[in-house]
Amino acid sequence: MNLKLRSLVAACSLACASTSAFAGALPESQLDNDWYQLGEQLVEQKTLQSRNTNTAKNVILFVGDGMGISTLTAARILEGQLNGDTGEEHFLSFEKFPHTALVKTYNTDQQTPDSAGTMTAMMTGVKNRAGVISLGPMAVRGECGEDVEGNKLTSALTLAERKGKATGIISTARITHATPAATYSTSPDRNWEDDTKLPEDSTCTDIASQLINYSEGNGIEVAMGGGRRHFQSIENGGRRKDSDLTEQWLNDAGNETRSFVTNKTELENVDLANTDKLLGLFTSSHMSYEADRDDAEEPSLAEMTETALEVLKKDEDGFFLMVEGGRIDHGHHAGNAYRALTDAHAFAKAVQTALDNTSREDTLIIVTADHSHVFTIAGYPKRGNPILGKVVNVDDTEATDLDGLPYTTVGYMNGLGFADLATGGDTRYNTDETPIATGRVDLTNINTEGQGFHQEALVPLGSETHAGEDISVHAIGPGSHLFGGVIEQNEVFHVINEAAELGGKSY
């Protein structure tokens, strides 16, 4: 037992007596065991951490889209193995945060949720229907009119703007996609990302227009991600019929200094100290998976996070920032664990970047997911077995099924099934011509650890689906102690509101 903990035990009152007696009764072989001492140290660290009841000047909400518990476990093991360790003992950057809870993710109309409903819950404190963004549960998907006007919800980002804070949105998905859209827009359909998606004679406004014309407070300071096609006109290579929103955004600058960038070099050349507003749209649709990202063209999620913080921290009133690792979700939908997990690693690096560039005294950092996926870890592989590999037993024999075929540790309940593709961009997700593989495949001579390998699936579907089990939330900083136990997803908003004193009270 280390000296610091011995002194704490010695200083205990009568309430500690039974614990001390019990510890003294343990054999040296137990007390000297590395696992015993590691557990002791981890509990000591948590015991010595006091609750931070300061007001959160700054709030950073990290959302790993589709980052369920099994994804965290597999990503942690893979990152540890890539670092040269066995992997199981590793921790992702945020997994050592002092406060954690399990989160129920259902929508008001679906047992297994979608991102529009889950992010609405986290950003507004109200659960709603799948596919509907920041509208109450009475709003009907795809219908405009009174159902929209009477059911609009106010997000935590908007409350932060009204309080004078700077705000930012970052995503590796399209910035108009469901998760980032719920921070700044209201829409009865998550697919209405530009004016070509709206029904004829619609009275609703598309999502991209709502971002550009956002007028609460002094407007959103930073927005970076993919989805340029939804902002630019057809003449400029986009999809819009009405006008080019990027040109409008620059023309509306007034006395502000605004920068619009489309690649990493342009971003690096921005004078952040003298920039009031920053808009970065780095790709036409979603940004690349981390495994495929051209570092000369697209910034990483960590780089976007660091850049956003440089702009937002200039506001003396503080800031609210939402950062989404959007393509974890897409990797799973494609049945490609390699890309899903390496995007989770990029997400964890972004969280570490935020930790390194903020203070625990005044910044609440929350890391969570919107929903899980039907991604599982199975079999009885020996410790240290490659998490993306085939199952190898403790006695170093390769595990096989009842037909004598080897199988992988990770796999999917449903989806497109097996594929072994060349490295490079994943073309399987959301493509009509993608063949669906059914049944088992002989993996004997196939490298299952490569980025082109797609795991087998039990139920053949055109896309792997979300899952309905709980996800986790990890938090550090002011108000983080409010997370604990099993919570409803809309409680995330209420913790933010309480910790940052945003003023969204019902009394």
Residues whose CB falls within 8 Å of the CB of residue 62, separated by 6 or more in sequence, listed in order: 94, 322, 323, 324, 325, 347, 350, 351, 354, 365, 366, 367, 368
- Which residues contribute to the annotated binding site for Zn(2+)? 65, 329, 333, 370-371, 466
CB atoms within 10 A of CB 276: 17
| Tokens 């490569």 sit on residue | 450
9 pLDDT exceeds 80? no
Amino acid type, 140: V
What average pLDDT does the chain have? 91
Kindly report the pTM of this predicted structure: 0.92
The tens digit of pLDDT for each residue in 322-347 reads 999 999 999 999 999 999 999 999 99
| Assigned fold of 58-374+467-500 | Alkaline Phosphatase, subunit A (3.40.720)
pLDDT for the residue 47: 64
pLDDT for the residue 44: 75
Instruction: Report the DSSP pairing between strands 319-325 and 58-64.
Output: parallel
Phi-psi region of 134 (alpha: psi -120 to 50; beta: other; left: phi over 0): left
pLDDT for the residue 2: 43
pLDDT for the residue 279: 98
Do residues 344 and 71 touch, judged by C-beta distance below 8 A? yes
What's the mean pLDDT in 16-28? 57
Percent pLDDT > 90 in the chain is 81
- CA-atom Rg of the chain in angstroms: 24
The tens digit of pLDDT for each residue in 412-469 reads 999 999 999 877 666 666 555 668 888 899 999 999 999 999 999 999 999 999 999 9
Q: Indicate the helix (H) or strand (E) that contains 471.
A: strand 471-476
Q: What's phi and psi for 356, nearest 5 deg?
A: -70, -20
Query: Could you tell me the residue ranges of all domains in the chain?
Result: 58-374+467-500, 379-464
1 pLDDT exceeds 80? no
Q: Predicted confidence band at 40 (pLDDT cuts at 50, 70, 90)? A: confident
Q: What's phi and psi for 74, nearest 5 deg?
A: -65, -40
304 pLDDT exceeds 90? yes
**Catalytic choice (93, 115, 209, 472):** 115
pLDDT for the residue 48: 64
Integer Cα distance of 71 and 315 in angstroms: 36
287 pLDDT exceeds 50? yes
Q: Is the dihedral of CA 92, 96, 99, 102 positive or negative?
A: positive
The tens digit of pLDDT for each residue in 388-409 reads 999 999 999 999 999 999 999 9
Do residues 235 and 249 touch, judged by C-beta distance below 8 A? no
Select from 353, 480, 469 the least CA-distant residue to 72: 469
Amino acid type, 396: D
Q: Predicted confidence band at 16 (pLDDT cuts at 50, 70, 90)? A: very low
- Which residues contribute to the annotated binding site for Mg(2+)? 65, 177, 179, 324
Rounded to 5°, angle at Cα 134 from 128 and 136? 45
pLDDT for the residue 435: 80
pLDDT for the residue 30: 81
43 pLDDT exceeds 70? yes
Do residues 412 and 335 touch, judged by C-beta distance below 8 A? yes
22 pLDDT exceeds 70? no
Amino acid type, 307: T
Q: Predicted confidence band at 504 (pLDDT cuts at 50, 70, 90)? A: confident
Whether 243 is catalytic: no
Residue 10 burial class via C-beta count within 10 angstroms: exposed 0-12, middle 13-18, buried 19 and up: exposed
The tens digit of pLDDT for each residue in 142-186 reads 998 877 888 999 999 999 999 999 999 999 999 999 999 999 999
- Which residues contribute to the annotated binding site? 65, 177, 179, 324, 329, 333, 370-371, 466
pLDDT for the residue 430: 56
The tens digit of pLDDT for each residue in 190-226 reads 999 999 989 888 889 999 999 999 999 999 999 999 9
